[in-house]
Every structure is written in structure tokens, then in C-alpha cells.
């Protein structure tokens, strides 16, 4: 079997899901030929930059506008049709990539790519089987196209919306979860990780993350928490945001909290820090949420863009796996949760219930079924 995974760089989640799936396929099915390609970039630099930069600007600089646009395009109206038409028109360029790799199955991690593949199939330019992975905890109409063979959703409740609002046939919906790397699902040994990373395994630990775009609002929560409880241990990961890293470095020096704070830039072992933490303070991107669930790590959400992030928060709160903290009262909310072991344990239990450690493996099995490939797993 030949698998082509098409991703995009609108945030980090689509790419991480694709990479996790690729890794699992290589481990479980060495005989399977698998490639990951940035689908938007393969169409052209101008198109890729327009979509990715446009998303970044709207989400970070004009979130309310982005939220309205997101909501409007979730309805079958002129705006939705215009968006889908403009993206599907780029399908001819995507066809070149598909023909280059000649896959038995396509797995798409972005809605625009799904729309293009659907158009190519409708026009008879390709008959390749196609799976669309929805990488958030609520669906959106742009993910739905008539010629997609299967939709993989993060959790079972999403199936109802796909059927009732979008008219998707139930037989095409698979609540298999969003793929993550195995290292998130495999329990880390807390004492060993803490010893290696210079952390105190006996202290209550909060992990603060800025998200894929980096958001400075997390500074406020760190300062409030550090002042309110000097016995807490902090792990702060700023990602590739140099400005935010330097701001934290300055704050930590001013507060004198160097001894109980581990400040990090971009890291490749975020799972270690999740495994040793009692709570993560973060933004609710689809993959950050999924990785936290895989580590059974309760979440305190400090900011959410209107749109898919806000949808993710609503789902997590409904399942008692996260809390949404107030800008002014966030520290008190977090401390209140940490001072209630029973409440925190219940949230951890819910995170475990919502996790899908076998997601990548199950998606591979689905691909084998759709292509009627036998003996795909070693």
C-alpha cells in the first residue's frame, strides 16, 4: 500500500498529526510506502503564504473578525460557497503532487485540501481513496466534501453533527481520534524525568505553554501564580517565540523565582514535561489538547480564539477535562483546583477517558480496509 498524507502549516496541529501518523505507519507496516507533503505549499508559494499568513493575521490580530468568518462559513451560504470554490479551483495543481506519488490512499489533515481532492474525484481525474482527519473537537462545514470516502473525528459526539447538519452518511464517519506520537500515551517515569531535567518530583508542577503562535498573556498567569504560592514548581515553554522567552527570563529574575522555574525555548520532548506535571496552562489548539489528553493531563485554558479553539474549550469543559480561567481571577481558579485533589483526580480520569492512544493504528487499519490491502500490519 502507498499512502500520501497531505498536511498544511496553518498552525502546528495539522503537521503534528500528519507526522505522528507517518511514524506509526513506518513502525507497524514497514512495507507500506508513506510520504507526508505540505499540500498547500505543493500548490505554490503564493497560495500557501496567502492562506497561512491570512490565517495567522486574522486569528492573532483580528480574532473577532476571524470568529465571525469561521461561524459564517459553517453555514451553507454565499460566503461558504465562495471559499470552497476558490480552494477547489486550485485542485489542478494538487493533482500534480498526487500523480507524482501515485498513492493508493490519501489522508488529508486540512479542510481545503479535502475540498480539492473531492473536486478531482468528481471530475474523474483521480479515483484514489481519501480519508479526511478533522483535527479539532468540533466539526466545520469546510471539512465536508461529497467525494471523501471517510471522515475521522476526534470523539463520537461529532458524528451527530456531521450527519444531521452536513448530511454525511453514517458509514463514512469513524470516531477514531486524532493521531499523536506514542510517547504521549506511554507513561513517563516521573522520578527519572525530574532527575534528568533538574526538577523536584515532590512538588506540585504547572506546565505553561504559549501555543504554536506564542501568546504573551500567559505571562500574567505565571506572575500571579508565582506570587500567590511560592511552593509551586513551574515549567515554562515559549516555543519558537524569542521575544516571549526573553520576557519570561526578565520576569523570573525580577520575581526571584529561578529556583522553582524551568524556562525552555522550543523543545522536542514536551511529553516529558506533560508526564511530570499536575496541570497545563495553555491555549486549546487541537493537537495540544489531544497530546494533553493522551498524557491524562488536566488543562487550564487561558485564551481561545473564536472559532475552532473556542469549540475545543466548550467540549473540554462539557467533559470536565479543563477549566477556562479568567484574566483577572485565573490564579485563584488554578490554585483552587490544585487545592482540591479530588476534583483534579476526576479531571485526570476524564482526560484518560477521552484519549485515543490507538488512533494512528486505527487510521492505518481503516486505510487498509478502504484499499482492500491485506497483511498491511507486521
Mean of the pLDDT values across residues 194-219?
A: 83
Between 358 and 244, name the one with better pLDDT.
358
Mean of the pLDDT values across residues 272-284?
A: 95
Rg (CA), the chain: 21
Q: What is the pLDDT of residue 207?
A: 96
For residue 23, pLDDT beyond 90? yes
Cα(283)–Cα(216) distance, rounded to whole angstroms? 11
Q: What is the pLDDT of residue 33?
A: 96
Between 95 and 373, name the one with better pLDDT.
95
Q: Which domains, ranges and CATH numbers included, belong to the chain?
A: 2-178+357-371 (3.40.50.2000), 183-354 (3.40.50.2000)
Name the DSSP class of 259: G
Q: Select from 147, 97, 94, 99 the least CA-distant residue to 119.
A: 147
Mean of the pLDDT values across residues 297-311?
A: 91
Q: What is the pLDDT of residue 375?
A: 47
Mean of the pLDDT values across residues 28-52?
A: 89
For residue 335, pLDDT beyond 90? yes
Q: How confident is the model at residue 56 (pLDDT cuts 50, 70, 90)?
A: confident
Q: Which helix (H) or strand (E) holds 66?
A: helix 63-72
C-alpha distances (whole Å) from 25 to each of 61, 70, 134, 277, 359 are 38, 33, 19, 29, 11
How wide is the angle at C-alpha 128 spanned by C-alphas 8 and 138, nearest 5°?
A: 45
- Residue 229 has which C-alpha cell? 504560592
For residue 213, pLDDT beyond 80? no
- Name every residue whose Cβ is closer than 8 Å to that of residue 248 and which is 6 or more positions away in sequence: 219, 222, 236, 238, 263
125 and 143 Cβ atoms separated by less than 8 Å: no
Q: What is the pLDDT of residue 244?
A: 87
Q: What is the pLDDT of residue 85?
A: 83
15 and 133 Cβ atoms separated by less than 8 Å: no
99-103 CB contacts, 8 Å cutoff, 24+ apart: 99/126, 101/2, 101/4, 101/35, 101/37, 102/2, 103/2, 103/3, 103/4, 103/35, 103/128
Cα(64)–Cα(328) distance, rounded to whole angstroms? 21
Q: What is the pLDDT of residue 87?
A: 77
Cα(160)–Cα(142) distance, rounded to whole angstroms? 17
Q: Select from 89, 93, 70, 73 the least CA-distant residue to 81.
A: 73
313 and 300 Cβ atoms separated by less than 8 Å: no
Of 45-49, 256-260, 311-315, 364-368, least confident by mean pLDDT is: 45-49
- Residue 24 has which C-alpha cell? 506509526
Q: How confident is the model at residue 211 (pLDDT cuts 50, 70, 90)?
A: low
Q: How confident is the model at residue 215 (pLDDT cuts 50, 70, 90)?
A: low
Mean of the pLDDT values across residues 96-118?
A: 94
Q: What is the pLDDT of residue 377?
A: 54
Give 126-195 as a DSSP string: ---EEEEE--SSS--GGG--TT-SEEE-SSTTHHHHHHHTT---GGGEE-------HHHHSPP-HHHHHH
Sheet holding 150-152, edge to edge: 33-38, 2-7, 105-108, 129-133, 150-152, 173-174
* Residue 271 burial (C-beta neighbours within 10 Å; 0-12, 13-18, 19+): buried
- Residue 81 has which C-alpha cell? 460557497
Cα(289)–Cα(355) distance, rounded to whole angstroms? 10
If you average pLDDT over every residue of the chain, what do you get? Answer: 91
Amino acid at each position: 500500500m502507498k499512502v500520501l498524507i497531505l498536511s498544511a502549516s496553518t498552525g502546528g496541529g495539522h503537521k503534528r498529526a500528519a507526522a505522528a501518523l507517518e511514524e506509526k505507519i513506518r513502525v507497524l507496516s514497514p512495507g507500506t510506502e508513506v510520504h507526508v507533503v505540505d499540500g498547500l505549499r505543493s500548490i505554490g508559494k503564493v497560495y500557501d503564504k496567502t492562506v497561512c499568513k491570512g490565517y495567522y493575521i486574522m486569528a492573532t490580530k483580528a480574532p473577532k473578525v476571524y470568529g465571525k468568518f469561521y461561524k459564517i462559513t459553517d453555514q451553507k451560504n454565499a460566503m461558504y460557497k465562495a471559499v470552497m470554490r476558490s480552494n477547489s479551483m486550485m485542485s489542478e495543481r494538487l493533482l500534480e503532487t498526487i500523480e507524482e506519488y501515485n498513492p493508493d490512499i490519501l489522508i488529508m489533515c486540512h479542510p481545503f485540501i479535502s475540498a480539492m481532492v473531492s473536486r478531482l474525484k468528481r471530475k474523474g481525474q483521480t479515483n484514489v481513496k481519501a480519508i479526511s482527519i478533522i483535527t479539532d473537537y468540533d466539526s466545520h462545514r469546510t471539512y465536508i466534501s461529497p467525494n471523501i470516502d471517510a471522515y475521522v473525528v476526534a470523539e463520537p459526539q461529532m458524528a451527530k453533527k456531521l450527519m444531521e447538519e452536513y448530511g454525511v452518511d453514517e458509514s463514512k464517519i469513524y470516531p477514531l481520534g486524532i493521531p499523536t506520537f506514542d510517547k504521549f500515551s506511554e507513561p513517563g517515569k516521573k522520578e527519572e524525568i525530574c532527575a534528568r531535567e533538574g526538577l523536584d518530583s515532590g512538588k506540585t508542577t504547572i506546565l505553561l505553554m504559549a501555543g504554536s503562535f506564542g501568546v504573551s498573556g500567559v505571562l500574567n498567569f505565571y506572575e500571579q501564580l508565582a506570587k500567590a504560592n511560592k511552593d509551586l514548581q513551574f515549567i515554562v515553554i515559549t516555543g519558537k517565540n524569542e521575544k516571549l522567552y526573553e520576557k519570561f527570563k526578565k520576569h523570573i529574575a525580577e520575581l526571584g523565582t529561578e529556583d522553582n522555574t524551568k524556562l525552555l525555548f522550543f523543545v522536542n520532548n514536551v511529553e516529558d514535561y506533560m508526564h511530570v506535571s499536575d496541570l497545563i496552562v495553555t491555549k486549546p489548539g487541537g493537537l495540544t489538547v489531544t497530546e494533553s489528553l493522551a498524557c491524562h493531563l488536566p488543562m487550564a485554558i487561558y485564551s481561545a480564539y473564536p472559532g475552532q479553539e473556542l469549540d475545543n474549550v466548550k467540549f473540554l469543559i462539557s467533559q470536565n477535562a479543563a477549566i477556562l480561567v479568567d484574566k483577572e481571577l485565573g490564579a485563584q481558579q488554578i490554585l483552587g483546583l490544585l487545592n482540591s485533589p479530588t476534583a483534579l483526580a476526576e479531571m485526570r480520569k476524564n482526560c484518560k477517558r477521552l484519549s485515543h492512544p490507538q488512533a494512528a493504528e486505527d487510521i492505518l487499519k481503516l486505510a487498509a480496509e478502504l484499499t482492500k490491502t491485506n497483511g498491511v500490519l507486521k
